[in-house]
């Protein structure tokens, strides 16, 4: 934290509306003071705040069996209350940014989001970001604000991500069930063993458990962002952070972070279709391009500029990439018999995927 210049802090629903009867300042005051103290030290802050549904639920009866439409209405009503609550704590301006995964996975909109965040920070305005639950659909939603906060941290070129939880950090076993559970203060590499330590969600209000927090940490550290999982319910957490101490679990940033465009393609953009290539096709060549001759099958419907998954015939996920051609054209070419016309088309077509638009995936 002492070296941080720009941080993202993620707050969950249980901190915003612990009793689901509107926003409460019980836990938010110490978080707001932390934000103020960071800004006083010259640290830029971006706040990712859940809680709109929880904040607005008290305005609707029978919320336990609420329909999707009612939950969206809760989000609409609760979002204004949540923003008003945050605004009450600060003597500087704040700005609301509501996002869906559809906004983040579209490169043009993603770039626009980056520019908006940078402009707000340049003018001393606190960006407060939440998923747009009022309009999002299953196809467009991120689903949890842990992963959203990691995507935002990457988009904002932050150097630190702080995810507030209801436990101190990652334990080797569930601390709510095992008295001998031990806190893991530092993680350098996220492995399957680390994921196995993640328990189920314990909060009745939030949607993200420890697993989503580790997923978020994995996204963030691959972009060079140190990530803390801390207990947001304890005031001492934020004093320790400001003092340069670790109050929970820190996931250390990769020493060789991904470039911004590659990170976006790997961790934010979702594939719209698949290109199946021959099993012996080598995607690891740094000058690799994907030509039509190497593709054995085209799956799904996608347009020029969409992100697609490249996999081998045996099912191995090789890469995510931006396609230069639509699925319609690629299928058309695949269906053509060898003829002078089809040969001319094949000869004139450029690479389906260019080398600068490929993000290799680690083989599991």
User: In terms of domains, do 21 and 163 share one?
Assistant: yes
* Number of structural domains found in the chain: 2
User: In terms of domains, do 87 and 180 share one?
Assistant: yes
Interval 260-287 mean pLDDT: 77
> What is the structure's pLDDT at 229?
96
Spatial contact of 322 and 305, defined as CB atoms under 8 Å apart: yes
250: Cβ–Cβ under 8 A, 6 or more apart, which residues?
Answer: 185, 186, 187, 226, 227, 228
User: In terms of domains, do 190 and 47 share one?
Assistant: yes
Given phi > 0 = left and psi -120 to 50 = alpha, else beta, which region is 182? Answer: beta
The verdict on residue 326 lying in a domain is yes
Confidence of residue 340 (pLDDT cuts 50, 70, 90): low
Residue where a domain terminates, one of 263, 286, 305: 263
The verdict on residue 245 lying in a domain is yes
For residues 315 and 41, the model is more confident at 41
- pLDDT per residue as tens digits for the range 81-119: 999 999 999 999 999 999 988 888 888 888 999 999 999
The verdict on residue 250 lying in a domain is yes
Cβ atoms within 10 Å of 305's Cβ, excluding its own: 15
* CATH code at position 94: 3.40.1160.10
User: In terms of domains, do 285 and 252 share one?
Assistant: no
The verdict on residue 1 lying in a domain is no
Confidence of residue 346 (pLDDT cuts 50, 70, 90): low
User: In terms of domains, do 73 and 171 share one?
Assistant: yes
Q: Report residue 6 as tokens.
A: 């720009």
- pLDDT per residue as tens digits for the range 67-82: 888 889 999 999 999 9
User: In terms of domains, do 242 and 100 share one?
Assistant: yes
User: In terms of domains, do 247 and 355 share one?
Assistant: no
* CATH code at position 321: 2.30.130.10
User: In terms of domains, do 68 and 98 share one?
Assistant: yes
The verdict on residue 124 lying in a domain is yes
Residue where a domain terminates, one of 200, 230, 263: 263
Q: Which of 7-16, 176-185, 312-321, 334-343 has the highest mean pLDDT?
A: 7-16
Interval 206-224 mean pLDDT: 84
At which residue do the structure tokens 């939880």 appear? 165
- Report the predicted TM-score, pTM, of the whole model to 2 decimal places: 0.80
User: In terms of domains, do 153 and 52 share one?
Assistant: yes
- CA 257 to chain centroid: 16
Mean pLDDT check: name the lowest of 37-46, 76-85, 299-308.
Answer: 299-308
Mean pLDDT score of the chain, rounded to an integer?
Answer: 85
Confidence of residue 188 (pLDDT cuts 50, 70, 90): very high
Interval 6-23 mean pLDDT: 89
30-51 residues labelled b (16+ CB within 10 A) or e (exposed): bbbebbbebeeeebbbbbbbbb
What secondary structure, in 3-state letters, does 343-360 show? HHHHHHCCCCECHHHEEE
152: Cβ–Cβ under 8 A, 6 or more apart, which residues?
Answer: 8, 46, 48, 99, 117, 129, 158
CA torsion sign, 274 to 282 to 261 to 160?
Answer: positive
The phi and psi torsions of 25 (rounded to 5 degrees) equal -90, 0
The verdict on residue 148 lying in a domain is yes
- pLDDT of 25 above 90: no
User: In terms of domains, do 73 and 206 share one?
Assistant: yes
User: In terms of domains, do 232 and 279 share one?
Assistant: no
d(CA 17, CA 11): 11
The verdict on residue 167 lying in a domain is yes
How far from each other are the two terminal CA atoms of the chain, in whole angstroms?
33
> What is the structure's pLDDT at 341?
47
Residue where a domain terminates, one of 263, 286, 310: 263
The verdict on residue 299 lying in a domain is yes
User: In terms of domains, do 178 and 104 share one?
Assistant: yes
Mean pLDDT check: name the lowest of 229-238, 260-269, 355-364.
Answer: 355-364
Q: Domain range holding 257?
A: 6-263
Interval 239-245 mean pLDDT: 94
């Amino acid at each position: 934290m002492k070296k941080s210049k720009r941080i993202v802090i993620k707050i969950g629903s249980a901190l915003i509306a612990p009793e689901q009867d509107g926003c409460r300042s019980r836990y938010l005051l110490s978080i707001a003071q932390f934000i103020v103290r960071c800004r006083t030290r010259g640290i830029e802050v971006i706040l990712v705040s859940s809680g709109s549904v929880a904040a607005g639920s008290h305005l609707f009866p029978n919320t336990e069996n609420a329909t999707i439409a009612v939950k969206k209405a809760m989000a609409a009503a609760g979002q204004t209350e949540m923003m008003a609550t945050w605004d009450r704590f600060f003597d500087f301006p704040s700005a609301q940014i509501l996002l869906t995964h559809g906004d983040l996975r579209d490169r043009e909109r993603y770039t626009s989001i980056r520019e908006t965040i940078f402009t707000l920070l340049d003018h001393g305005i606190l960006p407060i970001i939440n998923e747009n639950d009022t309009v999002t659909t299953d196809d467009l939603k991120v689903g949890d604000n842990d992963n959203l906060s990691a995507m935002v941290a990457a988009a904002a070129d932050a150097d630190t991500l702080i995810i507030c939880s209801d436990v101190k950090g990652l334990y080797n076993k569930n601390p709510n069930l095992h008295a001998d559970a031990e806190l893991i203060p530092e993680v350098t590499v996220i492995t399957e063993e680390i994921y196995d330590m993640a328990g189920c969600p314990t909060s009745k209000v939030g949607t993200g458990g420890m697993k989503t927090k580790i997923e978020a940490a994995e996204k963030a550290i691959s972009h060079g962002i140190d990530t803390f999982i801390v207990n947001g319910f304890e005031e001492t957490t934020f004093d320790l952070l400001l003092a340069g101490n670790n109050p929970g679990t820190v996931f250390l940033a990769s020493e060789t972070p991904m470039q911004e465009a590659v990170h976006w393609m790997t961790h934010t953009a979702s594939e719209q279709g698949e290109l199946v290539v021959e099993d012996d096709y080598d995607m690891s060549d740094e000058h690799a391009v994907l030509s039509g001759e190497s593709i054995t099958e085209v799956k799904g419907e996608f347009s020029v500029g969409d992100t697609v998954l490249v996999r081998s015939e045996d099912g191995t996920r090789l890469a995510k990439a931006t396609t230069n051609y639509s699925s319609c054209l690629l299928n058309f070419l695949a269906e053509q018999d060898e003829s002078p016309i089809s040969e001319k088309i094949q000869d004139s077509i450029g690479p389906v995927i260019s080398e600068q638009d490929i993000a290799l995936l680690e083989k599991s």
